[in-house]
Chains A and B, each alone.
Chain A
Amino acid sequence: MSALATNARVVKALGMRSVRQTFRRPQLIAPIIVFPTVLLAIQTGGASAAVNLPGFPPVESFLQFMLAGAMMQALMLAGNSGGIALAVDIEMGFTDRLFSAPIPRFAIVLGRLAGTAALGLFSALWFLAIGLIFGASIEAGVAGALLAIVLVTASALAVGGIGAAIALRTGSASVVQGLFPLVLVVLFLSSAFFPQELMIEPAKTIAEYNPLSFIVEGIREPMISGIDATDTLYAVLAILGIVIAGLLLSARALRHRLRVG
Chain B
Amino acid sequence: MADAIVVNGLERAFGEVHAVQGIDLTVAEGEIYAFLGPNGAGKTTTVRMLTTLLLPTGGAATVAGRDVVKEARAVRASIGVALQEAALDPLMTGRELIRLQATLQGIPTAEGRRRADDLLERVDLAAAADRRVGTYSGGMQRRLDLAAALVHEPRVLFLDEPTTGLDPVSRKTIWEEVRALNDAGTTVFLTTQYLEEADQLADDVAIIDSGRIVAEGSPDSLKAEFGNPHIQLHLADGSVAEAEAVLAPLGKLLPPRDGRCVEVEVPNGAADIPRVVRALDEAGIAVESLELVRPTLDDVFVSKTGYHLEEESEENAEKAPVDG
Q: Judging by beta carbons under 8 Å apart, are B87 and A103 in contact?
A: no
- Among the 9-residue stretches A92-100, A149-157, A176-184, A196-204, the one with 4 or more Cβ atoms under 8 Å from chain B is A92-100
The docked-state distance in angstroms from the alpha carbon of A13 to that of B48 is 25
Give a binary string over B87-118; 1 marks a CB under 8 Å from any A CB, 0 the rest: 11101100010001101111011000000000
Q: What residues of chain B lie closer than 8 Å to A93, measured between beta carbons?
A: 83, 85, 87
Q: Judging by beta carbons under 8 Å apart, are B89 and A1 in contact?
A: no
In chain A, positions 61-114 with a C-beta closer than 8 Å to chain B are 89, 92-94, 96-104
Q: What residues of chain A lie closer than 8 Å to B187, measured between beta carbons?
A: none
Q: What residues of chain B lie closer than 8 Å to A104, measured between beta carbons?
A: 73
Q: What residues of chain A lie closer than 8 Å to B83, measured between beta carbons?
A: 93, 96-97, 100
Q: Judging by beta carbons under 8 Å apart, are A92 and B54 in contact?
A: no
Choice from B45, B51, B87, B103 contacting A9 with Cβ under 8 Å: B103
- Among the 9-residue stretches A17-25, A38-46, A167-175, A213-221, the one with 4 or more Cβ atoms under 8 Å from chain B is A17-25
The docked-state distance in angstroms from the alpha carbon of A6 to that of B73 is 14
The docked-state distance in angstroms from the alpha carbon of A92 to that of B109 is 27
- B296: interface (CB < 8 Å): no
Choice from B45, B79, B87, B105 contacting A92 with Cβ under 8 Å: B87
Nearest chain B residue, comparing its CB with the CB of A23 = B91
Nearest chain B residue, comparing its CB with the CB of A101 = B104
The docked-state distance in angstroms from the alpha carbon of A93 to that of B148 is 14
The docked-state distance in angstroms from the alpha carbon of A13 to that of B112 is 13
Choice from B48, B73, B92 contacting A102 with Cβ under 8 Å: B73
The docked-state distance in angstroms from the alpha carbon of A13 to that of B113 is 14
Choice from A10, A25, A101 contacting B76 with Cβ under 8 Å: A101
Q: Judging by beta carbons under 8 Å apart, are B91 and A100 in contact?
A: no
Q: Judging by beta carbons under 8 Å apart, are A6 and B87 in contact?
A: no
Q: Judging by beta carbons under 8 Å apart, are A258 and B55 in contact?
A: yes
In chain A, positions 1-33 with a C-beta closer than 8 Å to chain B are 1, 6, 9-10, 13-14, 17, 20-21, 24-25
- B23: interface (CB < 8 Å): no
The docked-state distance in angstroms from the alpha carbon of A14 to that of B104 is 9
Q: Judging by beta carbons under 8 Å apart, are A1 and B106 in contact?
A: yes
Q: Judging by beta carbons under 8 Å apart, are A100 and B76 in contact?
A: yes
Listed residue (B88, B104, B109) with the most chain A CB atoms within 10 angstroms of its CB = B104
Nearest chain B residue, comparing its CB with the CB of A95 = B87
The docked-state distance in angstroms from the alpha carbon of A54 to that of B261 is 91
The docked-state distance in angstroms from the alpha carbon of A258 to that of B101 is 20
The docked-state distance in angstroms from the alpha carbon of A120 to that of B89 is 23
Q: What residues of chain B lie closer than 8 Å to A260, measured between beta carbons?
A: 14
CB distance from A103 to the nearest CB of B (A): 6
Q: Judging by beta carbons under 8 Å apart, are B91 and A21 in contact?
A: yes
The docked-state distance in angstroms from the alpha carbon of A1 to that of B105 is 12
The docked-state distance in angstroms from the alpha carbon of A99 to that of B103 is 14
Choice from B54, B55, B73, B87 contacting A94 with Cβ under 8 Å: B87
Given contacts A10-B103, A102-B77, A261-B48, contact A94 B88 (CB under 8 A): yes
- B27: interface (CB < 8 Å): no
The docked-state distance in angstroms from the alpha carbon of A101 to that of B105 is 6
Q: What residues of chain B lie closer than 8 Å to A24, measured between beta carbons?
A: 91, 132
The docked-state distance in angstroms from the alpha carbon of A6 to that of B106 is 6
Given contacts A17-B100, A93-B85, contact A261 B54 (CB under 8 A): yes
Q: Judging by beta carbons under 8 Å apart, are B53 and A96 in contact?
A: yes
Nearest chain A residue, comparing its CB with the CB of B48 = A261
CB distance from B255 to the nearest CB of A (A): 34
- B10: interface (CB < 8 Å): no
The docked-state distance in angstroms from the alpha carbon of A98 to that of B91 is 16
In chain B, positions 219-251 with a C-beta closer than 8 Å to chain A are none
Choice from A96, A259, A261 contacting B87 with Cβ under 8 Å: A96
10 examples of A-B residue contacts, CB within 8 angstroms: A6-B106, A17-B92, A21-B89, A96-B53, A97-B81, A99-B53, A100-B81, A100-B83, A258-B53, A261-B48
Instruction: Supply 7 further A-B pairs (C-beta < 8 A) apart from A6-B106, A103-B104.
Output: A92-B89, A93-B87, A100-B52, A104-B73, A260-B14, A261-B48, A261-B55
